[in-house]
Structure 1
């Protein structure tokens, strides 16, 4: 017990001494007047004034021009062929098909002014053994549009576009002897369409736009009116006009309200969907004569050159047929794009 009290007393004395030492160390000391020598810095020092002299610099002139144009050209070629031996029991017919498409697009954009020109050329044919050769694709389409930006998403535009075909078009039928015959239904500039339009365009983003053409004029040309037979010669419902142009005439002009919507976007990796819808409402005819046309192209790139494309067209034009007309093509081939 004595050892415990002795240890406790010793610890208490040491603690009191430590507290007393801390109180002494915390007392501020006045160093004024003390001769305290600081250790010299090992870094070199320089005394005196520093003189700066201006150095003349020759200006650098960059010889660069801003290019407000953006162009893109794609050329596609599709080919297919099938052959069968004479003793092939599975059935089939020898055939050769060749098609091509050229798509050129130029865009100019500076401040609030823009201009877009797009040219589409399509042509294709198929030849089956023992049959007449037939077209699979045939189109000339050239669209030009200039616009001035009014607000963030609205533009005032003026446009002009032309549409026709390269080659003659035929309707095919078999005569009484079972022989395949053809009747001429169309050719270059029979028909041909020239459309001028002005109005307002709504463009909320880069891949979608809608033109509202309040003032639209459309000229329809049939330069070979006496050669065409849109309906078979023996039909009792012979049309009194060629594509809306009265028989014996070569030209017709219409004023109308037009809506044109365009969509072009990469919906999947290396897969682009392009669609164009056009509605034409003539001012001088009933609303039942509204024309509709929808073009859809789905293109998927397989590698650097190969691609597969699916094209579809839906058309309702009562000047040519009271029912909806449609065509569809599926092709695989090579595609060259410039610039790469």
Structure 2
């Protein structure tokens, strides 16, 4: 519990403080700026996010945005030193939403892949994600409440390595396509008091697939195993809102607790991203992610990314 409580408390504090601040001060700021600027934020996220079907929607709504972000640094006779680098990340996000009377459906796909070339170090992967989320909902008479069922899948495209090894050793393979891959099914109750905040809780089933048995023990499976089934429960909160006329904050915390294991092994995924549009094509983003997964490591995993690039709305 000592390892996951700080992460859970930080997530809860962030959501409460953000929810209160946005509900009071930030609304006024964004309202003031909205009338004075034609810069807008496209509905694009590079992290785990919930797709909310608007109350006013009737029939289908499709959104598809693709982006290309990069960074480059070059040094020649530079006194402070430095390593020549170039990195590129491509991403595409497709959303489909449907509503008829009290029934709603949402599909969200998120594909991303990035590479970086470091002088003297070769090419290394910087980002890699395949995620497909499906959500079926039935809205109650009080439409802030609904019953839902989620079917989600995630894995990665390419091999991933741990480069923190002695100089005389090769990098260690730690992941590849379908190693691991995760399927989750969740059924429960959702509370959606506003169009920018959602809370969910329900019973969950999780399946872990590791196609390469040399990686089985790294993801909590027994030696030689390729599949593990876990029953449990899940709690999630998500927040997605403009904090300024051209800046959007997207944040989510998701947990999964296996009913057959101690609560100390609860998986926690806390993701945050600020996305700012410079104009209709160019954008910048700051991403911060913390993950606790005791199957992979007893230490909290942390990811920070600052990027700039272009995005294009296909639909």
Shorter-chain TM-score bucket reads 0.7 to 0.9
- Give how far 1:179 is off: 5.1
- Give how far 1:151 is off: 2.9
Q: Does residue 1:189 correspond to 2:165, yes or no? A: no
Extract unaligned runs of 5+ from structure 1.
1-65, 229-239
In structure 1, the residue matched to 2:201 is: 212
In structure 1, the residue matched to 2:67 is: 76
2:251 is paired with a residue whose SS is: strand
Greater RCO, CA 8 A, separation 6+: 2
Extract unaligned runs of 5+ from structure 2.
1-56
Aligned counterparts, 1:174-323, within 5 A? 174-175=165-166, 178=167, 181-213=170-202, 215-226=203-214, 228=215, 241-323=217-299
- Structure with higher Rg: it is 1
- Give how far 1:67 is off: 5.8
Aligned counterparts, 1:1-340, within 5 A? 68-85=59-76, 87-152=77-142, 153-175=144-166, 178=167, 181-213=170-202, 215-226=203-214, 228=215, 241-339=217-315
Provide, for residues 101-128 of structure 1, a one-character-per-residue CA deviation record: whole Å limited to 9, x for no partner. 1111111111111111111111111111
Question: Where is the helix percentage greater, Structure 1 or Structure 2?
Answer: 2
TM-score normalised over the length of structure 1: 0.73
Once residues 119 and 283 of structure 2 are traced to their aligned partners in structure 1, the CA distance between those partners, rounded to angstroms, is: 28
Q: Paired residues, what number?
A: 258
- Give how far 1:315 is off: 0.3
- Contact 1:132 1:180 (C-alpha < 8 Å) held by counterparts: no
1:203 is paired with a residue whose SS is: strand
Once residues 278 and 243 of structure 1 are traced to their aligned partners in structure 2, the CA distance between those partners, rounded to angstroms, is: 19
- Contact 2:159 2:176 (C-alpha < 8 Å) held by counterparts: yes
Once residues 141 and 254 of structure 2 are traced to their aligned partners in structure 1, the CA distance between those partners, rounded to angstroms, is: 24
Once residues 139 and 173 of structure 1 are traced to their aligned partners in structure 2, the CA distance between those partners, rounded to angstroms, is: 22
Once residues 306 and 253 of structure 2 are traced to their aligned partners in structure 1, the CA distance between those partners, rounded to angstroms, is: 20
Once residues 274 and 223 of structure 2 are traced to their aligned partners in structure 1, the CA distance between those partners, rounded to angstroms, is: 39
